[in-house]
Structure 1
Amino acid sequence: MARQSTSLSQPNDEWLQQQVSAGGEYSSKSELINELIRNARRAEALNQKLATAEQSGFTNQSPPDMLHLAKMIV
């Protein structure tokens, strides 16, 4: 796994630390940052799919089928 040094503003660093120490879902800031990046990538991919869909017109896919495909994107 690649190592990265990142400078954070004090409010962002405090927020990350609170998330790590609060619920136990994340064991480190690094783990939380990776999750935030994965979520951002999913959102970006979904927005790209939505933009393509808007430009292409109608679809024959049902809403559950579209949701299933969206979850498989990333």
Structure 2
Amino acid sequence: MMGRQSISLTEPNDRWLQEQVASQEYASKSELVNELIRQERKRQEEIDWLRSELIKGEKSGFSTKSKQDILALAKEGLR
């Protein structure tokens, strides 16, 4: 079940939504707004994860590894 909401938009934001729908990228303003919310939720999850990792890093203390060692570990982690 989907909840219904009534929202007020500024003129520039409403015009932008209308342009996106007119370009047939999205079927409706509702579809586009839902997509934007999904993107923002994903972005917020990524920020929360990064914040958590930074806190863990701060709590782990100082490293005795060289910059080159740290860079090599980071690059390995990306693979």
TM range (shorter): 0.7 to 0.9
Output the TM-score relative to the length of structure 2.
Answer: 0.71
Root-mean-square deviation (CA, aligned residues, Å) is 2.2
In the TM superposition, 1:15-30 aligns within 5 A as 15-22=16-23, 24-30=24-30
- The count of corresponding residues between Structure 1 and Structure 2 is 63
Identity of aligned residues (%): 46
Any unmatched runs of 5+ in structure 1? 65-74
Deviation at 1:62, TM superposition (A): 2.1
Any unmatched runs of 5+ in structure 2? 61-72
Output the TM-score relative to the length of structure 1.
Answer: 0.75
Q: Which runs of 4+ in 1 moved over 6 A?
A: 58-61
Rg bigger for which structure? Answer: 2
- Quote the Cα distance in structure 1 between the aligned partners of 2:27 and 2:10: 21
